[in-house]
């Protein structure tokens, strides 16, 4: 798996996601590599009316490569870092060069600087707030070291709770071309249930997600099976194929493989799910542990404040922590 989309070879998406930086930084780098950052030239391509000039230097069209690397301001920042700056012909050439390094710390530093440069660019656009290059570097370093300190705390906590099953509890992406849909249910403050789902591709990229609050629902098991049915209906209308739906409800998982002779509300919904699975052959399903399903759980919990919310590639920020946990624990 290489960065084929941008013609970058010899590096893998897996490596990108394993770089030890905050998830928001990895997502930014992912967007840079796919050239979907909302820089002005990309906005013009999407027919948004803006002038094309770089908001920071005002001298060149703002492409992704410009704002992150060739802009005179970006050059000054890179020159202050341990990586330095030298002319590169394209984003692809520069990334290949960066990933040819065996020093993970150089890549971490580069990712943090890219994030800090893009944050600065947004501050200039929205608040006319200009910084000096050394401030870009110092923010990159301080955010990275704060994040490293938090990670040490989280991993010691997890090791304590799950001393001998850490690997099995981790979320894992599927093989190339396949999608995963994680679903979960959470009890909300008012006694109803929130249902959450998130779809990720084999590069661990979040393609879509949604959350719903179910008022008047008091049985968690009904919640779990309704959530499963909701996910199947939703996947029917989307184009993520093949896809595996992961639930941490063992009972739902087992019930899908059981014949029900009696009728109950639960059995009725299970039968609906079975019919949908029969129809939608591209969907499989699996049982996973709760610890491997934290992102879906975070979404379900958020239904307290934002039911009916759906998103595509622009993730809600409340997911960063749980996504970061998954990304940093892929074995
Ligand atoms: Zn510029």
Collect all residues with Cβ–Cβ distance below 8 Å to 175 and sequence separation of at least 6: 202
Residues 263 and 323 in one domain: yes
Q: Give the number of domains in the chain.
A: 2
CB 84 within 8 A of CB 101: no
**Secondary structure of the chain in the HEC alphabet?**
CCEHHHCECCCCHHHHHHCCCCHHHHHHHHHHHCCCCCCHHHHHHCCCCCCCECCCCCCCECCHHHHHHHCHHHHHHHHHCCCCCCCCCCHHHHHHHHHCCCCHHHHHHHHHHHHHHHHHHHHHHHHCCCCCHHHHHHHHHHHHHHHHHHHHHHHHHHHHHCCCCCHHHCCCCCCCCCEEEEEEEEECCCCCEEEEEEEECCCCCEEEEEEEEECCCCCHHHHHHHHHHHHHHHHHHCCCCCEEEEECCHHHHHHCCCCCCCCCHHHHHHHHHHHHHHHCCCEEEEECCHHHHHHHHHHHHHCCCCCCCEECCCCCHHHHHHHHHHHHCCC
* Tokens of residue 54, six digits: 């770089």
Residues 146 and 172 in one domain: no
* 294 Cα–ligand 1 center, Å: 40
Residues 242 and 207 in one domain: yes
Q: What is the mean pLDDT of residues 108-130?
A: 94
Considering the entire predicted model, what is its pTM? 0.54
* 51 Cα–ligand 1 center, Å: 13
Residues 206 and 154 in one domain: no
* 56 Cα–ligand 1 center, Å: 5
Collect all residues with Cβ–Cβ distance below 8 Å to 47 and sequence separation of at least 6: none
Collect all residues with Cβ–Cβ distance below 8 Å to 185 and sequence separation of at least 6: 193, 194, 195, 196, 220, 223, 224, 227, 249, 300
Residues 132 and 209 in one domain: no
Mean pLDDT of all residues belonging to the chain: 81
Residues 173 and 300 in one domain: yes
What percent of the chain is predicted at pLDDT more than 70? Answer: 84
* 287 Cα–ligand 1 center, Å: 49
Instruction: Give tens-digit pLDDT for 314-329.
Output: 677 778 777 777 777 6
Residues 315 and 175 in one domain: yes
* More confident position, 71 or 315: 71
End-of-domain residue from the set 161, 192, 208: 161
pLDDT at 31 over 50: yes
* 128 Cα–ligand 1 center, Å: 15
* 76 Cα–ligand 1 center, Å: 11
Residue 73 domain boundaries: 4-161
* 92 Cα–ligand 1 center, Å: 19
Residues 195 and 302 in one domain: yes
End-of-domain residue from the set 161, 182, 199: 161
* 225 Cα–ligand 1 center, Å: 52
End-of-domain residue from the set 129, 161, 193: 161
Residues 136 and 217 in one domain: no
* Predicted local confidence at residue 109, as pLDDT: 94
Looking up residue 268, the CATH number of its domain turns out to be: 3.30.420.10
Residues 137 and 190 in one domain: no
pLDDT at 152 over 80: no
Residues 215 and 138 in one domain: no
Residues 179 and 84 in one domain: no
Instruction: Give tens-digit pLDDT for 89-116.
Output: 998 889 888 888 778 889 999 999 999 9
């Amino acid at each position: 798996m290489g960065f084929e989309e941008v013609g970058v070879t010899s590096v893998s998406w897996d490596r990108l996601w394993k770089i030890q930086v905050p998830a928001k930084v990895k997502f930014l780098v992912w967007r840079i590599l796919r050239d979907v950052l909302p820089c002005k030239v990309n906005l013009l391509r999407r027919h948004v009316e803006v002038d094309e000039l770089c908001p920071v230097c005002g001298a060149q069209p703002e492409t992704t490569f410009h704002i992150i690397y060739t802009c005179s301001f970006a050059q000054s920042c890179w020159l202050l870092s341990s990586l330095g700056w030298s002319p590169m012909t394209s984003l692809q050439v520069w990334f290949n060069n960066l990933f040819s390094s065996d020093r993970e710390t150089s890549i971490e530093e580069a990712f943090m600087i890219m994030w800090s440069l893009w944050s600065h660019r947004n501050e200039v656009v929205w608040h006319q707030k200009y910084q000096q290059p050394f401030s870009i570097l110092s923010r990159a370093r301080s955010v990275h070291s704060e994040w490293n300190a938090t990670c040490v705390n989280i991993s010691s906590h997890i090791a304590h709770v799950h001393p001998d099953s850490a690997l099995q509890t981790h979320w894992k992406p599927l093989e190339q071309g396949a999608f995963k849909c994680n679903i979960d249910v959470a009890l909300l403050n008012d006694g109803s249930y929130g249902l959450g789902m998130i779809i990720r591709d084999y590069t661990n990229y979040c393609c879509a997600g949604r959350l719903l609050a179910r008022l008047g629902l008091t049985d968690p098991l009904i919640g779990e099976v309704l959530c499963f049915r909701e996910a199947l209906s939703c996947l029917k209308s989307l184009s993520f194929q093949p896809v595996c739906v992961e639930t941490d409800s063992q009972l739902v998982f087992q019930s899908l493989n059981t014949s029900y002779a009696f009728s109950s509300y639960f059995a009725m919904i299970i039968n609906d799910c079975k019919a949908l699975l029969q129809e939608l052959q591209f969907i499989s399903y699996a049982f996973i542990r709760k610890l491997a399903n934290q992102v879906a759980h975070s979404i379900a919990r958020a239904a307290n404040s934002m039911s009916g919310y759906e998103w595509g590639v622009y993730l809600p920020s409340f997911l960063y922590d749980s996504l970061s946990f998954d990304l940093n624990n892929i074995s």
